[in-house]
Structure 1
Amino acid sequence: MANPYPFQDKVIVVSGASRGTGLALSRYLLVRGAKVSMAATSEENLKKAVAGIEQDIQDVKDRVIYFPTDVRNPDDVKAWIEGTVAKWGELDGAANVAAKMNKSIHPIEDLELEELKEVLDVNVIGTFNSIKYEMKNMKPGGSIVNCGSQQVKYASGNMGAYAASKNAIRGLSQSAAYEGGAKYPKNPIRVNLLCPGCIDTDMIRQPLHLPNGAGTWTMTEGDHLTSIIKRYSKPEEIAASIAFLLGDESRFMTKQEIYVDGGWMEANYVA
C-alpha cells in the first residue's frame, strides 16, 4: 500500500510560494506530511496563502511558516534559509519556483538592457542565491529542484531574456548536481531541473507589450498552442512533478532536466 505521507516531517523550502505553482506545491507537500517554509516577495500575499492553507488542511499550523523574501537579495535568502533551519533543523528539500517573465515581446535588437537585467536578476541571481544557502544547510541525501522552462529546449524568438535566464538556471543546476555529489559522495544532495510548458497562472496571462508600440498580446489556450496537449498545465500538475523530484522515489535521479510541457514543439510565439 502506498504511503499517504511520503514527506512526513521532511523540511522543505519553497520560493515563489504565495501563489501559482509555488503555492500549489506547498499545499501538495503539506497534505503529505511535510514541514514547509514558504518564501515570496509580498508579505501580504504570503499571509493570505497561509491563511487559506490553515483553513483547508487539518493539523497544519505547526508545519507551515513563511518569510517575506526577495530572492535577488542574498541577505533575504540567507535569513529565510537559516530561519527555517533554526526552527526545524537542516533541510531535506528545496524547490526554487520564483520566476519572472519578459514584460515585452520583441527581438533581441530591440531588447532594453534594463529589461534583460530585471529578468536575469530574479531568475538567475535569485536561483543562485537560493542554491547557495540551500546547499549550505541541507542534509546528505537532500534534493533541490530548480524551475526551467520548455524555453531551455525550444527557445522562442522574441523571448530572449526569459530563454537566456532559464538556460542559465540549467547550467547552475548541472554544476550544483556535481557539487552535491562531491560534498556527500555516499549520499549526494541531488539537483534536478523541472521544465514546464505554459502553466495556468497569473504570470502566463499577463499582457505582453508588442514591438513598436503595436499594443499588447496575451497568450491564450486553444488549438494554436504549439503542444500536443492543447491546454495550459494546471499548477497542481507541475507541483506533483516537482514533488516527485523532491521525494524518495526519484532517489537515483540527479543532474536531469525533466520536461512536463504537454508535448511542446518548436515554434515562435509571435508570427
Structure 2
Amino acid sequence: MAPPTLTPFQGRVIAVTGGSRGAGLALVRYLLERGARVSACATSEKNLAEAVAGIEKDMPDAKDRVMTTVVDIRKNDMVKAWIDATVAKWGKLDGAANVAARMHSKVYPIEDFAVEDLEDMLQCNVVGTFNCMQHELKAMKDGGSLVNVGSQVAKYAQPGMSAYMASKMAVVGLTRAAAFEAVARKIRVNVVCPGAIDTDMIKQPLMLPSGESFTCSEDSNFPALMKRFAKPDEIAAPIAFLLSDESKYVTKQEWYVDGGFYETSYVG
C-alpha cells in the first residue's frame, strides 16, 4: 500500500449524486479536501449553486475541481448526459457514490399507502440508482469503486415504512449483483446503510393515518444505542473510505453506520 497522504484522492475523478445538501454535500467537500475532482448532481439548481458558493468560500483552491449538473436520476438520458460530460471534462471515473434518495413523509400501513406513492419512491430510489450505476460503471476505470447508499431499514424493520424499506432493500440487491458483475474489472461495489442523519429529511414532519404528525427526535426513545442522529460528515467518511485504496479488499458488503440501531418503532 502507498504511504499515508493527506490527499489520497489527488487527481481522481469521483461522481456523487445528491451532492447539493446533507450527506451528499458532506461527501463532496470531504473528497475535495483530499484532492479529488468531483462531479456532483442534484435536482435543484439553486441548491447546487449554494453548495458551490460555500465550497468556493471555504476551499478557494477547489474551484476548478468541482462541477455540478442538474439531474433527475429517474431519467436515464439525463444521467447518461451528466456522466458523459464528466468524462469529457476530466476523463473516466475512478469512483462514484449514489447518495440521492427520497423518503415520503407518510408513515402509513400498507393497506392505507397509495400505490402512486410507492411507485414514486421506487422510481427515485431504485430506478434512479440503477440508472446511475449503469452509466457510472460503463464510464469507470478498471480498479475503481462504486458505493451506494442504502438505509438501516434494509435490516431493521419499521412499521409504516414499507415503501422506503422495499426501495432500500432493492438498493442492497443491486449492490450485490453489481459486485459480482464488476469484479472481472476489479471494480468494487459496496453499500453504506446509515441510520438517521441530521439533515432536512429527518426533520420533516411524518404523517400518520389519523392525521396527526410527529418528528423524529434525539431523546431516550430514539431506537439506537447512540441516542442521537449522525452528522453528515460521519456518513461521508465511511463512504470515502470505501472509495479509497484503503478498502481494496472490500466488496459486496453492507456497512451499517447507524449508531447501533435496533428493531423497534419511531412511533412508540
Instruction: Using structure 1 for the length normalisation, give the TM-score.
Output: 0.96
In the alignment, residue 4 of structure 1 is paired with which amino acid? L
Structure 2 counterpart of 1:74: 76
Number of the residue aligned with 2:200? 202
Matched, 1:175 2:195: no
Q: Which runs of 5+ in 2 are unaligned?
A: none
Report sequence identity in percent.
Answer: 58
Distance 1:78 1:197 in 2: 30
Query: Residues 88-136 of structure 1, C-alpha deviation per residue, up to 9 Å, x if partnerless?
Result: 0000000000010122011111111011111111110110000000010
Task: Give every structure 1 segment of 4 or more consecutive aligned residues whose post-TM-superposition deviation is greater than 6 Å.
Answer: none
Among 152, 155, 178, which residue is 2:154 paired with?
A: 152
SS of 1:103's partner is coil
Matches within 5 A, 1:56-67: 56-67=58-69
CA distance in 2, matches of 1:60, 1:181: 32
Aligned length: 266
Structure 1 residues 181-202: Cα deviation after superposition (integer angstroms, max 9, x where no partner): 13x2xxx111000000000000
Give the residue type in structure 2 aligned to 1:235: P
Please state how far the C-alpha of 1:2 moved relative to its aligned partner: 3.0
Q: What is the match of residue 216 of structure 1?
A: 213
Q: What is the match of residue 263 of structure 1?
A: 260
> Residue 247 of structure 1: CA displacement?
0.4
Task: Give distance in 1, aligned partners of 2:36 and 2:176.
Answer: 26
Q: CA RMSD in A?
A: 0.9
Q: Quote the Cα distance in structure 2 between the aligned partners of 1:65 and 1:102.
A: 29
Between the aligned partners of 1:118 and 1:27, the Cα distance in structure 2 is 29
* Deviation (angstroms), 1:208: 1.3
Q: Which residue of 1 aligns with 2:122?
A: 120
| Structure 1: gaps (5+ residues) | none
Q: How far is the alpha carbon of 1:155 from its aligned partner?
A: 1.8
Q: Report the secondary structure of 1:101's partner residue.
A: coil
Structure-to-structure mapping, 1:8-87, within 5 angstroms: 8-87=10-89
